[in-house]
Amino acid sequence: MSNTVSESATLEYNGKKIVLPVVTGTEGEQAIDISSLRKSTGLVTLDPGFVNTASCYSKITYIDGENGVLRYRGYPIEELVEHGIFIDTAYLLVNGELPNDSQHREFSRLLNECSLIHEDMRHFFDSFPRGSHPMHILSTMINAMAAFYPDVDLKSLDEDINQSCARVISIVRTLAAFAYKRSIGEPIVYPRHDLSYCANFLNMMFDSPVRPYQIRPEAVRLLNVLFIIHADHEQNCSTSAVRTIGSAQVNLYATISAGISALSGPLHGGANQSVIEMLKMIHEDGDVNKFLKMAKEKDNPFRLMGFGHRVYKTYDPRAAIAKRECENYLKLIKYQDPLLDIAHRVEEAALTDSYFVDRHLYPNVDFYTGILYRAMGIPENMLTVMFAIARLPGWVAHWREMIGSSTKLVRPRQVYTGQECRHLEEDYRKVK
Ligand code: CMC
């Protein structure tokens, strides 16, 4: 189950041959190990956006982007969705194996115990301007946790690390719900010990003293599914941020806060909000082809949001699950959303258009999930927050894997293209 050095690649430079090992992962992916390159040649490699760079070994998630395969710890995403319990997926990601009954109970107990935020942190919510984006509030609040809770470091006992990991996975949902309640001017709702992870979140979001929330099992099931499909995605932008920041041995909360900030961008997790904004625009305008045309124009910054992916060159398996859930759930709750019809029309038009076909641009996870969240009553500015709550186990798993291995400080090189050495005195003379 470990990587093996199977072959080698030879690089010829300046009349010298340098032999570099080729490592092979468990699914047969191969990588040229260049870790000795600079020492032996003085050369560095240049790879903007790390399009061709594996930044680490990892045992957590496997993606085959050509065939639309996604597995957490070896289990296909479709099977985990079928099992349907987000906290079991979280446990699996963080610990490497699914929990047995007693581990499940213990993990639930721990999440429950850690779900309250420090009372003094509540006042922080009052200091954000009304209308602040909840992603900004969330990353700030997670960062602030370092001041309230004892941090773990590389030498901490496993128990303490477990506790800190559970705390951050649990509290993120309390903070998210509190931020929402604050944004709509309603009193906050505390977590309840008798509710499951997802039911608790829905209750904190939607319960109110004048309108008690009825927890619907179909909504809880759906939230579990949505959280599972978002739970990890190997070395994406936010996870790479977590690993990068974490490699400097900063505290866990600052590390996760960096992940949340990275996720908020519209090219990453922020795309789910942008998709809904785009579908609304198309709905108002009525002309799907006009937007497709705009997305294809070279000098137009408009992109078809929820389409395309760095790794998937076929249908994103998460998008396939979200699309199926979307059709079923909306039917089940008898909710008609005109945006679903628009989404279907956009998808159909794009998948028969040579621009999108030639570039292998398919719907990604964000294309249908916003419609599902809307059907659950989640407001638009909370969509990326939902992604963040779900991604917590993934970030924590990568952070744990990183601190448990001999990771070096992440510190890329560059190819400098600025001014050559020049001198102040001469230049001052010239401008005077
Ligand atoms: N609409 C129109 N054209 C696109 C799109 C799109 N959504 N995505 C890529 N392209 C074009 C791009 O213009 C380029 O064309 P050309 O070869 O003519 O220059 C080609 O396809 C390759 O694109 P790229 O930007 O080099 O590809 P990338 O791997 O760097 O970008 C991406 C991946 C996700 C940033 C990009 O597809 C995109 O911006 N999509 C829209 C935003 C989005 O939905 N993001 C969510 C990603 S999934 C959730 C997550 O994991 O974060």
Please name the residue whose Cα sits nearest to atom 29 of ligand 1. 310
Write out pLDDT tens, residues 124-148.
988 888 888 999 999 999 999 999 9
Return the C-alpha torsion angle 98, 320, 62, 10, nearest 10: 180
Which among 135, 267, 296, 298 is the best mutation to test ligand 1's pocket, defined by most ligand atoms within 8 Å of the CB? 267
Q: What is the pLDDT of residue 157?
A: 65
DSSP string covering 29-44: -EEE--TTHHHHHS--
- Tell me which of 366, 398, 423, 427 is the catalytic residue: 366
- 341 labelled catalytic: no
Phi, psi for 105 (deg, rounded to 5): -65, -40
Give the model's confidence band at 73: pLDDT under 50 very low, under 70 low, under 90 confident, else very high.
very high
Cβ of 345 less than 6 Å from ligand 1: no
- Going by C-beta distance under 8 Å and a sequence separation of 6 or more, which residues neighbour residue 90? 107, 169, 231, 392, 393
Give the model's confidence band at 153: pLDDT under 50 very low, under 70 low, under 90 confident, else very high.
low
Cβ of 303 less than 6 Å from ligand 1: yes
**In the predicted model, what is the mean pLDDT of residues 108-113?**
94
Q: What is the pLDDT of residue 331?
A: 96
Q: What is the pLDDT of residue 314?
A: 96
Rounded to 10°, the helix 158-183/252-263 angle is 40
* Residue 356 Cα to ligand 1 middle (Å): 10
Determine what percent of the chain is predicted with pLDDT higher than 90.
86
Q: How many CB atoms lie within 10 A of CB 314?
A: 14
CA distance 306 to 303: 9
CA distance 242 to 108: 25
Q: Which atom of ligand 1 is nearest to the CA of 310?
A: 29
Q: What is the pLDDT of residue 407?
A: 77
Regarding predicted confidence, which is higher, 323 or 157? Answer: 323
Residues 385/230, Cβ–Cβ less than 8 Å: no
39-48 b/e (C-beta count within 10 Å ≥ 16 → b)? eeeeeeeeee
Regarding predicted confidence, which is higher, 3 or 430? Answer: 430
**In the predicted model, what is the mean pLDDT of residues 334-356?**
97
Determine what percent of the chain is predicted with pLDDT higher than 70.
97
Q: What is the pLDDT of residue 1?
A: 47
Secondary structure percentages of the chain, helix, strand, coil, to 5: 55, 10, 35
- Whole-model pTM? 0.95
Q: What is the pLDDT of residue 406?
A: 73
The DSSP bridge partners found for residue 425 are: none
Q: Which atom of ligand 1 is nearest to the CA of 364?
A: 48
The DSSP bridge partners found for residue 10 are: 19
Class of residue 176 by CB neighbours under 10 A (exposed 0-12, middle 13-18, buried 19+):
buried
Average pLDDT, the chain: 94
Q: Is residue 160 classed as helix, strand or coil in its secondary structure?
A: helix
Write out pLDDT tens, residues 278-317.
999 999 999 999 999 999 999 999 999 999 999 999 999 9
